[in-house]
Amino acid sequence: MPDMYRSPAIESYVDYGEIRGRENMEIKTQLSARQTPKYTVPYYGTNESEVKMMLPNKRKAGLAWRESHGLFGWDLDTESAYDKARLDTINPLTMTPENAETILENGEKLYTSMCAHCHGEKGDGNGTMIQSGAYGDMGVVPDYKALDTLSEGKIYYSIYYGKGYMGAHGSLLNKKEIWTLVHYVRQFQRDGYGKFDKVGKVEESDKSEESK
């Protein structure tokens, strides 16, 4: 009767590498949950570009996000850095002819599970939740094509910290996943995005955010 002394529920500080006489040496001695000290940077390997991508955000949400988007305990600034995020025009997850298909495939999976219910399968803001009227007068989601001048940084910032009625996704997705979504959103906005010609140049209209 192992359930009498080992709960089937997930518990903190329990070694799940050995359960009911079965051993999994890959996870043995690893704690199931542990709160790390504030500002601790997880180990992400030795790929310099990926490590930099996963470092803490230099653009932070303002203190108002604590109440408006429930970011209690987050590292926030006095004022929002959303407007400054327009200066971040380059996605650190570089898309190449070799990885474009994989990035967009991963982006589709993330988008389908995290975004499509509101933003719609085609990014037109007509997702099933909006069609249902569940959000009432609040259920107005813009068509991505109308936001095609937003910088990479502003799209990332909006997903990570939340914007308007959209909640923050920084606790649900890691930074690489959010930058993957930025690529996926771009294909709704720009024809040919993610497709490369014979010399490896991306085929997409060259649009940049208007100065504000």
Q: What is the largest CA-CA distance in the chain?
A: 67
* Same-domain pairing of 92 and 173: yes
CATH number at residue 82: 1.10.760.10
pLDDT at 45: 87
Do 166 and 118 contact (CB within 8 A), yes or no?
Answer: yes
Please tell me whether residues 57 and 158 are part of one structural domain: yes
Residue 137 sits in the same domain as residue 84: yes
Give the mean pLDDT of 109-132. 93
27 shares its domain with 72: no
**Are 96 and 122 in the same domain?**
yes
The per-residue pLDDT for 98 is: 93
Percent of the chain at pLDDT > 90 equals: 55
Helix (H) / strand (E) element for 19: namely: strand 18-19
Containing structural domain, residue 60: 48-189
195 within a domain of the structure (yes/no):
no
For all residues of the chain together, what is the average pLDDT? 84
DSSP state of 160: H
Q: Is there a domain that residue 211 lies in?
A: no
Least confident of 10-19, 98-107, 119-128: 10-19
Residues 33 and 87 in one domain: no
* Number of domains observed in the structure of the chain: 2
Residues 162 and 95 occupy one common structural domain = yes
Taking CA 30 as the corner, what is the angle to CA 26 and CA 33, rounded to the nearest 5 degrees? Answer: 130
Q: Is residue 200 part of a domain?
A: no
Please, which residues have CB within 8 angstroms of residue 46's CB and are 6 or more apart in sequence?
none
Please report whether residue 212 resides in a domain.
Answer: no
CA 201 – CA 153 distance, rounded (Å): 22
For the cut 50, the answer to whether the pLDDT of residue 210 exceeds it is no
Task: Please identify which residue in the block is written with the tokens 């600034």.
Answer: 77
pTM score: 0.77
- Would you state the pLDDT for residue 4? 62
Q: Above 90 in pLDDT, residue 44?
A: no
Q: Indicate the range of 16-20, 37-41, 45-49, 111-115 predicted with least confidence.
A: 16-20
**What confidence tens digit (pLDDT) does each residue in 140-178 have?**
788 999 888 999 999 999 999 999 889 999 999 999 999
pLDDT band for position 212 (cuts 50, 70, 90): very low
Judge if 14 and 94 occupy the same domain. Answer: no
Do 20 and 108 fall within a single domain?
no
